[in-house]
Amino acid sequence: MMALKIYNTLTRRKEIFTPFEEGRVGIYVCGPTVYDHPHIGHAKSYVSFDTVIRYLRHLGYKVRYVQNITDVGHLTDNADEGEDKIEKRARLEQVEPMELAEMYMRSYYEDMDALNNLRPDISPRATGHIPEQIDLVKRLIDKGFAYESNQSVYFDVSKLKDYGKLSGRKLDEQESGTRIEINTDKKHPADFALWKKAESGHIMKWNSPWGVGFPGWHLECSVMSMKYLGETFDIHGGGIENVFPHHECEIAQSEAANELPFARYWMHNNMVTVNGQKMGKSLGNFVTLKDAFKIFSPLTIRFFVLNTHYSSPIDYSNEAMDAADKGLERLHNTIRNLRERLESSNGAEGQEIWKTKLEKYKNTFEEAMNEDFNTAEAMAVIFNLTKEVNNLLNSDEEISKEVLSEIDVFYKTYGGNVLGIVPEKTVQHGADDVSTYKIENDLIKTLIDTRNELRASKQWELADKIRDRLSELGIIIEDKKEKVAWRKK
Q: H-helix or E-strand containing 391?
A: helix 375-394
- Are 359 and 460 contained in the same domain? no
Specify the higher pLDDT residue, 458 or 445: 458
Q: H-helix or E-strand containing 315?
A: strand 314-316
391 falls in which pLDDT band (50, 70, 90)?
A: very high
Dist. CA 331–CA 419, nearest whole Å: 13
Q: What is the pLDDT of residue 471?
A: 86
Q: What is the dihedral of CA 221, 226, 228, 229, to 10 degrees?
A: 110
Q: Answer yes or no: is pLDDT of 426 > 70.
A: no
Q: What is the pLDDT of residue 182?
A: 63
Q: Helix or strand or coil: residue 489?
A: coil
One-letter amino acid of 51: T
**Could you tell me which residues are beta bridge partners of residue 478?**
485
Closest CA to 302 of 114, 454, 469, 476: 114
- Are 460 and 374 contained in the same domain? no
Residue 382: how many CA atoms within 13 Å on its side-chain side?
Answer: 31
**Could you tell me which residues are beta bridge partners of residue 155?**
146, 192
314 falls in which pLDDT band (50, 70, 90)?
A: very high
Q: What is the mean pLDDT of residues 29-48?
A: 96
- Are 27 and 166 contained in the same domain? yes
Strands of 24-29's sheet in order across: 62-67, 24-29, 233-239, 263-269
Q: Answer yes or no: is pLDDT of 434 > 60.
A: no
Residue 466: how many CA atoms within 13 Å on its side-chain side?
Answer: 20
The DSSP output letter for 47 is H
Range of the domain at 376: 289-418
Question: Which residue intervals of 17-165 are DSSP H helices?
Answer: 40-58, 85-93, 97-114, 130-142
- Are 295 and 260 contained in the same domain? no
242 within some domain: yes
Q: What is the pLDDT of residue 200?
A: 87
483 falls in which pLDDT band (50, 70, 90)?
A: low
Q: Answer yes or no: is pLDDT of 106 > 60.
A: yes
Model confidence pLDDT, tens digit, residues 214-271: 999 999 999 999 999 999 999 999 999 999 999 999 999 999 999 999 999 999 999 9
- Are 107 and 159 contained in the same domain? yes
Query: Is residue 292 within 8 Å of 301, Cβ to Cβ?
Result: yes
473 within some domain: yes
- Are 133 and 163 contained in the same domain? yes
One-letter amino acid of 137: V
Percent of the chain with pLDDT over 70: 90
Q: What is the pLDDT of residue 176?
A: 44
- Are 413 and 390 contained in the same domain? yes
Dist. CA 210–CA 195, nearest whole Å: 9
282 within some domain: no
User: What's the mean per-residue pLDDT of the chain?
Assistant: 90
- Are 262 and 312 contained in the same domain? no
254 within some domain: yes
CATH of the domain at 120: 3.40.50.620
Domain count, the chain: 3
Q: Answer yes or no: is pLDDT of 446 > 90.
A: no
- Are 263 and 322 contained in the same domain? no
Q: Answer yes or no: is pLDDT of 433 > 90.
A: no
Pairing of strands 277-278, 475-479: unpaired
277 within some domain: no
Dist. CA 399–CA 357, nearest whole Å: 15
For the CA atoms of the chain, what is the radius of gyration? 26
Q: What is the mean pLDDT of residues 190-213?
A: 94
Q: What is the pLDDT of residue 181?
A: 56
Q: What is the pLDDT of residue 481?
A: 63
Q: Answer yes or no: is pLDDT of 436 > 70.
A: no
Closest CA to 334 of 265, 267, 392: 392
- Are 171 and 128 contained in the same domain? yes
Model confidence pLDDT, tens digit, residues 48-63: 999 999 999 999 999 9
- Are 368 and 339 contained in the same domain? yes
Q: What is the pLDDT of residue 352?
A: 81
The DSSP output letter for 244 is I
488 falls in which pLDDT band (50, 70, 90)?
A: low
3-state helix, strand, coil in the chain (%, to 5): 50, 15, 35
| Integer angstrom CA distances of residue 106 from 32, 109, 110, 355 | 12, 5, 6, 45
For residue 431, the tally of other CB atoms under 10 A from its CB is 10
225 within some domain: yes
Q: What is the dihedral of CA 186, 192, 196, 199, to 10 degrees?
A: 60
Q: Answer yes or no: is pLDDT of 347 > 70.
A: no
Q: What is the pLDDT of residue 194?
A: 97
- Angle CA 348–349–353, to nearest 5: 135
305 within some domain: yes
| Integer angstrom CA distances of residue 360 from 316, 353, 365, 370 | 33, 11, 9, 15
- Are 479 and 405 contained in the same domain? no
Dist. CA 193–CA 114, nearest whole Å: 37
281 within some domain: no
Query: Is residue 350 within 8 Å of 399, Cβ to Cβ?
Result: yes
Query: Is residue 181 within 8 Å of 199, Cβ to Cβ?
Result: no
Dist. CA 59–CA 37, nearest whole Å: 34
Dist. CA 117–CA 302, nearest whole Å: 9
CATH of the domain at 353: 1.10.730.10
Q: Which residues does 275 contact at the CB level (< 8 Å), separation at least 6? A: 285, 315, 316, 317
Q: DSSP for 159-226?
A: G-TTTTTTT---GGGS-BTTTB---TT-SSTT-EEEEEEPPTT--S-B--TT-SEEE-HHHHHHHHHH
Dist. CA 242–CA 16, nearest whole Å: 24
Q: Answer yes or no: is pLDDT of 177 > 70.
A: no
